[in-house]
Amino acid sequence: MKSTVQAVEYGEDSLVSKRSLRALWHLARPAQWTKNLFVFVGIIFSNQWNDSGLILRTIVAVMAFSLVSSSVYIMNDLIDLVRDRLHPIKRYRPLAAGLISLYSARLLLFTCLTLGLLLGSIVSPITVGLLAVYFIQNIVYSKVLKHVVILDAFSISFGFMLRIFVGTWGLGIEPSRWLLLSGLMVTLFLGFGKRLAESNKLSAQSFAHRPVLGNYSLGLLTQLIDITAGGVIISYSLYTLDASTDALHQTTALIYTVPLVIYGIFRYLFLIHKGESADPSRVLVSDPHIIITVCLWLLSVIWILN
C-alpha cells in the first residue's frame, strides 16, 4: 500500500514537473524567435557567403538575441501581470495563469539575459552593447513608450532595427543606407499593422487593456499602414536599383525580387484587415502564402547574388 502511494505521489510530482517545464518554455516565447531572423539580413546582402566564420558568428548572434528577447518577454509579463490577468487572451499566459511562480520567472529572466550577453560577447563587443540597448529600450517601452501614441510603434520598430544592427555593425558589416531605410519601413509597417490587428481583436475592451489604442482611429492606422507599406516597396526597389548595390553584387537582377516583396506586403495587409493575427511572428509561421513568398524571395536573392 505504501509503495502504491509513493508511486502515485512520484507520478504526480513528475506530471507537475513536466507542466512546470512546459510553462517555463512557453514563458520564454520560443515562437517569437522568428523575429530574430532579421539578424541574417547583413550576411544575406553583404556578399560574404563563403566566410564560414561569419556565418557561424551570425548564428551565434541569432541565438544571443533569442535569449535576450526571451528575457524581455518575461520582464514584460512580470510588469504587466495584473493587466494580463484581465486580458481575454493574455490571462492564459503561464505567469498570469499562475502556472509558475514569480521566483521561477525572475530566475529564468536572469538566466536568459546572462546567457544571451555571454553569447553576444563571442560575436563582438558591439553586439553586447546592442543587446544591452535592446533590453534597456524594452524597459523604457514597457514603462513609458507603450502608452504614447505613435512612439509605441516607433519603439517596436527600433527593436527590429536593433536586430538588423546586430546582423550588420555587430558583425563588422557596413549596411546599405537604402537597406536600413527599407528595414525601418518594414518594421514600422509591422508595428502599425500590429496595432490595427490589436484594435480589431479587442474591440470595445481595447481601451481597458491597452489605453493607447484609444488614441488610434481606424482611419489614422490605415493611413500609417498605407504610408509605411508604400515606403517598404519604394525603398526596397531603390535599393535594388542603386548603383552601389549593382557594384557590390555584380548584378542588376535583384529588381526581379521586388514583385515578391509587393505580394508579401499585400498579403500581410489582407491578413491584418481580416483580423487573422496581431502578431507578425505568428503570421510568418502560420500563413502558407507568407511562408511560400518569404522562401521564394530568400531563394531568389541567394540564387541571384551567387
pLDDT, tens only, 49-61: 778 899 999 999 9
Q: Is the pLDDT of residue 178 over 80?
A: yes
Mean pLDDT of 81-91: 74
Q: How confident is the model at residue 101 (pLDDT cuts 50, 70, 90)?
A: confident
47: left (phi over 0), alpha (psi -120 to 50) or beta: left
Query: What's the full length of the chain, in residues?
Result: 306
Single pTM value for the model: 0.86
Q: What integer is the mean pLDDT of 192-201?
A: 78
Work out the average pLDDT over 36-48: 89
Tell me the pLDDT band of 7, cut-offs 50, 70 and 90. very low
Is pLDDT larger for residue 13 or for residue 237? 237
Query: Among the listed ranges 9-13, 55-59, 107-111, which one has the minimum average pLDDT value?
Result: 9-13
Q: How far is CA 60 from CA 36, 167, 288, in A?
A: 11, 11, 28
Distance (Å, rounded) from C-alpha 42 to C-alpha 256?
Answer: 20
Give percent of the chain with pLDDT exceeding 70: 88
CB atoms within 10 A of CB 301: 18
Quick one: average pLDDT of 298-305? 91
DSSP letters spanning 79-140? HTHHHHTTSTTGGGSTTTTTSS-HHHHHHHHHHHHHHHHHHHHHH-HHHHHHHHHHHHHHHH
Confidence bin at 81 (pLDDT 50/70/90): confident
- pLDDT at 207 exceeding the cut of 70: no
User: Residue 3: is its pLDDT beyond 70?
Assistant: no
Question: What is the model's pLDDT at position 278?
Answer: 54
For 212-245, how does the pLDDT look when each residue is reduced to its tens digit (9 = 90+)?
Answer: 777 788 889 899 999 999 999 999 999 999 998 8
Diameter over CA atoms, the chain = 82
Neighbours of 288 (CB within 10 A): 7
For residue 284, pLDDT over 80 is answered with no
Q: Which fold has domain 33-174?
A: Tetracycline Repressor; domain 2 (1.10.357)
User: What is the pLDDT averaged over residues 195-221?
Assistant: 71
Q: What is the pLDDT of residue 210?
A: 66
Torsion, Cα 205 210 214 215, to 10 degrees, reads -170
Query: Among 117, 77, 116, 115, which Cα is nearest to 97's?
Result: 77
Q: What is the pLDDT of residue 182?
A: 92
Q: Which pLDDT score, from 0 to 100, does residue 208 have?
A: 58
- Model confidence at 9, in pLDDT bands (50, 70, 90)? very low
Mean pLDDT, range 161-166, rounded to an integer: 96
Supply angle C-alpha 95, 188, 29, rounded to 5. 20
- Whether 138 shows a pLDDT value over 70: the answer reads yes
State the pLDDT at residue 5. Answer: 45
pLDDT of residue 205: 52
Higher pLDDT, residue 104 or 278: 104
